[in-house]
Amino acid sequence: MKRQGTLLTTLGVIIAGIVVWNLSKMPGNTQTVVVYVSEDQVFSEPILKDFERETGIKVRAVYDTEEAKGTGAMNRLLAEKNNPQSDVYWANEPIRAEVLKQRGISASYVSPNAAGIPDVFKDPEGYWTGFSARARILVVNESVAEKPQSIHAYTNARWKERAVVANPLFGTTTTQMAALFTLWGDDRAKAFLEKMKENGTKISTDNGESTDLVASGEFDFSLVDSDDGVNRIRQGKPIVMVYPDQGEGGIGCLIVPNAVVLIKGAPHPSNARKLMDYLLSKETEQKLAFADCAQIPLHAGVETPSEVKDIDQIKAMEIDYAAVARKLLEIQPFLKSWVGY
Amino acid sequence: MGRRVTLAAVVVFLMAIGLLPLVVMFAKSIVVDGQASLAAYRGLLTSGREWVLIRHSLALSLSTALLATVVGLPLGIVLAKTDLPFRRLFTALFTIPLLVPPYITAISWFNLLGRQGALSKVLGSAAAQATSDWLFGLPGCVLVLFSTFLPVVMLLTMTYLKTVNARLEEAGKLAGGWLRVLKGITIPLILPGILMAAMLVFLLTLGEFGVPAFLRYDVFAVESFTQFSAFYNFGAATAAAVPLVAITFLVLVAERLFLRDKSYRLRLAPGGAPSATIALGASRNWIVALVGLLCFVLVVAPLLVLFSHSLSLAAYKEAVSRAGDSLLRSIAYAAIGASALTVLGFFTGYLIHTRAFRFWRAVDTLTIFLFTLSGTVVGIGLISLWNHPSTNFIYGTPTIIILGYLARYTALTSRITVSALAQIPPSMEEAAQAAGAGWLRRMGLIVAPLAKRGLVAGWLIGYIFCLRDVGITMLVYPPGRDTLPVRIFTLMANGSTELIAALCVIMVVATLLPLGLGLFFIRS
């Protein structure tokens, strides 16, 4: 009986200690910044921890899950439009940042650290600013003798039933499709997608799975993000990366930068600006370049790892991200029917 | 007076935290721009995808319930009524998958059967491709959820066997062997309990989000989450949740209609006659081998593979540095949730046990209904109700998570309290009442202390279910206040296998350690 009492008391003290610890960690209002993050937690969290260490400002974050495909945090922002909890949104691509602007959820802020970033990767009114980008590249199995050089390979009979693409309802593949619709117009883009289907293109769950399917030789190539390619190359997988449509008259390669957004009615606006300045610095771009995500810096003069090209060596697709954002919402029904939802 | 007011307050509280969010959620889904609209529901009926989801959800739930019942019933009988060696060890091992979050079991199986899983090193890449394809789909989901919910049928079978009057079996044995007794007397007597267990497995599978999401099998619980999180389509998310709610409701109504008058309430066998033990005789060895093999395949092998993937000091170091705070938060939320659940469950259980109100059965049904509902649905309901500047003290703090736990898991502590109270002679409370003790005093000094073991068991079960929750927490956790299960989910995107495995092992330990200590307390 005595033993029982000791055991119960010990358990009670431990649990009470943990509860008290939790209560003591409830952040105050002044030295806090709340950020919703769509970039993978495994890459974004170390950056936010560095910010905490260097500034003493406590970061409270909400991260996306794989299932929400990079849009869960954004949708939480939409749900909280009249009751904002977040100060900053770190989007893993600029289209959702544009949607937030169009829905009146973001506020304008032009960071002094954004001066070195090319204008094409920034909202002209300062509602979002791009940094550290991924490129939409083709991963091709090493054993394929003649490597495809264009996304038109998807409709080429030479690669019938040999190509795979991630589900275009989610993530950067949606952005890619919306960019094509903006660039080519609806009719041509729809015809392209129909031809892709006729040519036996397989739909995978995500870019990671597409890359693995190419690496295992089940398919010859796939359009994925550069970080997926670099990641598998570093694992020794037999793939090569091709920047598509780089030749004369080619549409270029879609560049997908991260985007940082100030939220309208942010509870901690001053700290929010400090965090945005930090994310847009050259130092953060360098860290993200040498992390496993191998993202491409947008500031000139930031060192890049050997597996990826410098931004000025890539022929980028010339698009208006605001137009792509509008198109993205418009083509959802078509994409759903194309996928079979 | 105190009794009725307290119990009425409990009912009102239950409705406010459980039913009201669902009603608000439904109301919001039928109002578009201030006008009544059934557009989201029209889509539900006209889209071919909805029928696919219904087919998938029913196929998964029915297969899992059927398999768990077919295996769980004989397993429960063998573990409860025979002289099989290592019965306690087997019971404990088979129970583990119920205690750990189901998606951890899914990750374990993925580490075993995935394209780069442990088996690929033995069988080669072609076979691994086949096992991976098999895992990612209906068969894989059934396998994982079968091993998760098998203990529900097994444990309920073992419990209900204790309610069978041994004298009836003895009498039956005069006319035939044990097989005939089991077939003709024991199983028919516990059949209502078995049906209830099968129904529970069916409904828990129907509401399960983590496993089908991880294994990429489209069911309503995943669709509802995706519609809300990926498309931010509140109407469609609610519409996708409606079939779940409707099926859950219909199954519970059926249970009430068919089992209401059956003697399925838990009461130990009268007369104190100990249940007779079946001597397995010559079959003992091969039955122990069979049970051992099942235990190894369903429980030991996946956990061993998970553990082996985590065998790296660096992975544990990273896991602690990345998720140490989340672990402590999980424990704190689970402890607070379990304590609140124990109190709420005690009063709800008392209400049901004493049939304090005419509508006691409706209260029981409400708690079971909320328990079997998908966590995603409960989460969306909570957001609908509490996401408002005036209620930020709830929405912006961990209180929202605790409310979610209370809404969803009260059935557990309530049912355990009902069982505990059934063992206490009413004369105890009556004697205190005759001596002039008020109701709250009787509860605090007589009933609760007598039901102490049941309350401790209820706290432990409540703690485990709060700790492993992911469906509700993922949708509503305040910024910077995530739990370990949520963190495992968010780190899965590009996190290393070793890190995820290490986090899962930490989660398993955090679940099983307090349980082991609690059981030690109950036993001693």
Q: Considering CB atoms only, which of A41, A75, A205 is closest to B216?
A: A205
pLDDT (0 to 100) of residue B245: 80
pLDDT (0 to 100) of residue A316: 93
Of B486, B344, B332, the residue nearest B409 (C-alpha)? B344
> What crossing angle do the helices spanning B187-206 and B138-161 adopt, rounded to 10°?
140
Q: What ipTM was predicted for this assembly?
A: 0.73
Inter-chain CB proximity B331 and A170 less than 8 Å: no
Interface mutation target, options B28, B232, B519, chain A, most CBs of A under 10 Å: B232
- Using a CB–CB cutoff of 8 Å, tell me whether B46 touches chain A: no
Question: Could you tell me the pLDDT band of residue B500, with boundaries at 50, 70 and 90?
Answer: confident
pLDDT (0 to 100) of residue A336: 79
Max Cα separation, chain B? 77
Of B16, B82, B72, B14, the residue nearest B411 (C-alpha)? B14
For residue A151, the distance in angstroms to the closest alpha carbon of chain B comes to 26
The span from the CA of B398 to the CA of B291, in Å, is 43
Taken in order of first residue, the domains within chain B and their CATH numbers are: 1-37+310-524 (1.10.3720.10), 38-271+280-305 (1.10.3720.10)
Which tokens belong to B463?
Answer: 């703690």
Question: Could you tell me the pLDDT band of residue B263, with boundaries at 50, 70 and 90?
Answer: very low
Q: Profile chain A (341 residues) by mean pLDDT over runs of 10 residues.
A: 59 65 57 92 92 95 70 74 92 88 93 93 95 96 94 95 89 91 96 95 84 87 93 89 94 96 95 97 95 91 88 92 87 83 60
pLDDT (0 to 100) of residue A194: 95
Inter-chain CB proximity A27 and B480 less than 8 Å: yes
Q: Name, in order, each residue with C-beta under 8 angstroms of B177's C-beta and a sequence gap of 6 or more.
A: none
Q: Tell me whether residue B454 is exposed, middle or buried, using C-beta atoms within 10 angstroms of its C-beta: 0 to 12, 13 to 18, 19 or more.
A: buried
For residue A246, the distance in angstroms to the closest alpha carbon of chain B comes to 29
Half-sphere exposure of B361 (CA within 13 A, CB side): 10
| Residue B276, phi then psi, degrees to nearest 5 | -70, 145
Inter-chain CB proximity B229 and A71 less than 8 Å: yes
β-pair partners for B317 = none
For residue B392, the distance in angstroms to the closest alpha carbon of chain A comes to 8
C-beta neighbour count of B6 within 10 angstroms: 16
**Chain A residues in contact with B331 (beta carbon < 8 A):** 15, 18
pLDDT (0 to 100) of residue A5: 60
Which amino acid belongs to residue A111? Answer: S
Which H helix or E strand runs over B312?
A: none
DSSP state, residue B1: -
Inter-chain CB proximity B514 and A66 less than 8 Å: no
Task: Render pLDDT for B118-147 as a digit per residue (tens, 0 to 9).
Answer: 888 888 878 888 888 889 889 999 999 999
Which amino acid belongs to residue A53? Answer: R
End-to-end CA distance of chain A: 62
C-alpha triplet B365, B380, A73: angle, nearest 5°: 155
B455 and B417 in contact (C-beta within 8 Å)?
Answer: yes
Task: Render pLDDT for B324-364 as a digit per residue (tens, 0 to 9).
Answer: 999 999 999 999 999 999 999 999 999 999 998 999 989 98
C-alpha triplet B321, B326, B329: angle, nearest 5°: 135
The span from the CA of B506 to the CA of B310, in Å, is 10
- Using a CB–CB cutoff of 8 Å, tell me whether B395 touches chain A: yes
Q: Per mean pLDDT, which of A71-80, B55-64, B509-518 is the most reliable?
A: B55-64
For residue A281, the distance in angstroms to the closest alpha carbon of chain B comes to 24
The span from the CA of A288 to the CA of A44, in Å, is 8
Residue B406 to residues B348, B363, B373: CA-CA distances in angstroms? 12, 14, 13
Which tokens belong to A226?
Answer: 């550069």
β-pair partners for A258 = A131
Which H helix or E strand runs over B273?
A: none
pLDDT (0 to 100) of residue A21: 61
Percent with pLDDT over 70 in chain B: 92
Which amino acid belongs to residue B235? Answer: G
Task: Render pLDDT for B376-405 as a digit per residue (tens, 0 to 9).
Answer: 778 878 888 888 888 888 888 899 999 999
pLDDT (0 to 100) of residue A25: 55
Q: Name, in order, each residue with C-beta under 8 angstroms of A158's C-beta and a sequence gap of 6 or more.
A: none
C-alpha triplet B476, B477, B480: angle, nearest 5°: 150
Residue A60 to residues A88, A94, B55, B166: CA-CA distances in angstroms? 11, 22, 41, 60
End-to-end CA distance of chain B: 38
The span from the CA of B494 to the CA of B358, in Å, is 54
- Using a CB–CB cutoff of 8 Å, tell me whether B335 touches chain A: yes
C-beta neighbour count of B30 within 10 angstroms: 16
Higher pLDDT, B245 or A98: A98
Question: Could you tell me the pLDDT band of residue B264, with boundaries at 50, 70 and 90?
Answer: very low
DSSP state, residue B2: H
Mean pLDDT of B497-518: 85
Mean confidence (pLDDT) of chain B? 85
Of B315, B321, B370, the residue nearest B341 (C-alpha)? B370
- Using a CB–CB cutoff of 8 Å, tell me whether B315 touches chain A: no
Of B76, B201, B233, B213, the residue nearest B136 (C-alpha)? B213
- CA of B44: which chain A residue's CA is closest? A341
β-pair partners for A140 = A221, A240
Q: Tell me whether residue B503 is exposed, middle or buried, using C-beta atoms within 10 angstroms of its C-beta: 0 to 12, 13 to 18, 19 or more.
A: buried
Spacing of C-alpha B450 from chain mean position: 26
Q: Per mean pLDDT, which of A78-87, B397-406, B415-424, B490-499 is the most reliable?
A: B397-406
